[in-house]
Amino acid sequence: MKVASVAGLALLAGLLSGGGSAADESPGPLGLTVGCGTEDSGEAAVAATVALSVDVPETGETGRPVQPGPVSLTLTLSRADLAGLLPEGAEAVVSRAALKVKVAQNGESAEASWGLNAPSTALPADGDVVLVHTGEVPYVTFGSAGDADFSVGEFTVELRSATAAPEESAPALATLTCRLKEGESGHLATTQVTDVNGDEPSGSPATPSTPAGGSATADRKDITVEPPAAEDEDPDYCPVDPPVGEMDASEAPQLPPGDPARIAENPKAPPSCANAAGLANVWKLNGAMIINDPADPALISVITAKRTVIRTAQSPGGYYFRIDSLANLKLPDADSTFLTFGFQPVTAKVSFENGPMTISTGTSGSGSDKIVFSTAYFQQSLRLHDVKVNGTPLDVGSNCRTSTPFKVVLNGGDKYTNVGVGGLLEGDVNISSFTGCGTGGEDLNPLFTASLSGPGNRVFMNQASTCVPSNPTRSYCPPPPAVLPGTEPAT
């Protein structure tokens, strides 16, 4: 079956990112038009669009697993249509999609359920609601040679409150059944299966078994659907302490004049984690620096949706919706190399002291005045040690550091979806002057201040999806690895 370290003391704002792998061929998402509705609401089905991505091997061999790659299903519905299907006051949802996938070969078929999960998604006042579901799916084993077709039929989407405690038994707000519009084939891919011992199938394939989180049935035993390999019983998805401290959303767009907003604190918000990576430019050194190297990253710990601020569109002042999350990232020491005054090579280790991080996402206004925002804010200090000039150790003392903490404010607009999904954030940082550098009466503060301190240092941060260990089936567990900004595959 076919199936750097760069220059820099300004590794100063390490934060969040995501990645994956591809199978043989990815022709791009399959676009489908569907009608979705609740079985017991009496309401007519509403139109929705689907973008379904999955890498299915082009070829396979009898008796050997054919493993479809990670699956992504993006369901887009109108907020106005969804309002008729959800209870009044719903502000954010998590969702689970269950697809019925038909695998057909030589006139025989089997059906497998693909269970996919989408993290917390805020519900805007208007426009579209985009639910991005992802997950691993069962593999298939074929007992006969011949082309095997994968196709999707109807599927269900279960919507639950994102602010409720994440018990599996919590009732769903709504369960939508989505069916393909007339004329849609739902064909996903074709795998050409060959017999490893000749043209005819050999041996008796095993009886189909039930995949994890779903079911499988077969007309005959020529097609077997199996669950993915079992995970450890109690995996430690987030081996980091939950964040502590106070949130400060002062750097996010504030409530416009008008009626006050309703503020809801969520003391039951569960801890979660995500991988993080980024790049920082030090303006004076004309170089780019890796932040939280994906080769050995630190996890960011997050408490998502710890506070919600909302004012309705009908209130004086207009619509405003903001979700504040508390986060913390304890970065490991970083190795850095830079040139002072353009020619003197200096190496050093950098320690980071990050204060509590507040990540705010939301929407202000509606219609043509609508603004989508996302902001991450925290204070940071840097300490330099193990400094060498031309390979010769330079004793800078034990407390060579920025004189005061400096602000790190990163904005993403609509490029950063939410804390659950992540995205790209960026901003300029003003590094404060250095103090405490030097021993024996030697003052090295001017050297480091001249080389590193000042404004105009651009930072890019890319966050991966978030894992909620207490609710792994409805989040991204284990947390996906980080992808450095600027290294994403071309689309």
Residue 230 has pLDDT above 70, yes or no: no
**pLDDT number for residue 166:** 43
Does residue 16 sit in helix, strand or coil?
A: coil
Work out the mean pLDDT of the chain and round it to a whole number. Answer: 80
* DSSP code per residue over 109-178: EEEEEEEEEEEEEE--SSSEEEEEEEE---EEEESS-EEEEEEEEEEEEEEEESSS---TTSPPSEEEEE
Proportion of the chain above pLDDT 70, given as a percent: 82
Per-residue pLDDT, averaged over 167-177, amounts to: 71
**pLDDT number for residue 360:** 95
Proportion of the chain above pLDDT 90, given as a percent: 32
Annotated domain spans of the chain: 30-226, 262-474
Burial class (CB in 10 A: 0-12, 13-18, 19+), 346: buried
**pLDDT number for residue 241:** 93
Out of 60-64, 94-98, 169-173, 382-386, least confident range = 169-173
Residue 320 has pLDDT above 50, yes or no: yes
**pLDDT number for residue 391:** 87
Instruction: Give the separation between CA 442 and CA 453, rounded to whole angstroms.
Output: 19
Pairing of strands 320-329, 357-364: antiparallel
Give the other-Cβ count within 10 Å of 25's Cβ: 11
Residue 212 has pLDDT above 60, yes or no: no
Instruction: Give the separation between CA 159 and CA 178, rounded to whole angstroms.
Output: 13
**pLDDT number for residue 418:** 83
Q: How confident is the model at residue 234 (pLDDT cuts 50, 70, 90)?
A: low
CATH code of domain 30-226:
2.60.40
The predicted-structure confidence for 268-319, as pLDDT tens digits, reads as follows 888 999 998 888 887 887 777 788 888 888 999 999 889 999 898 889 999 9
Residue 336 has pLDDT above 90, yes or no: no
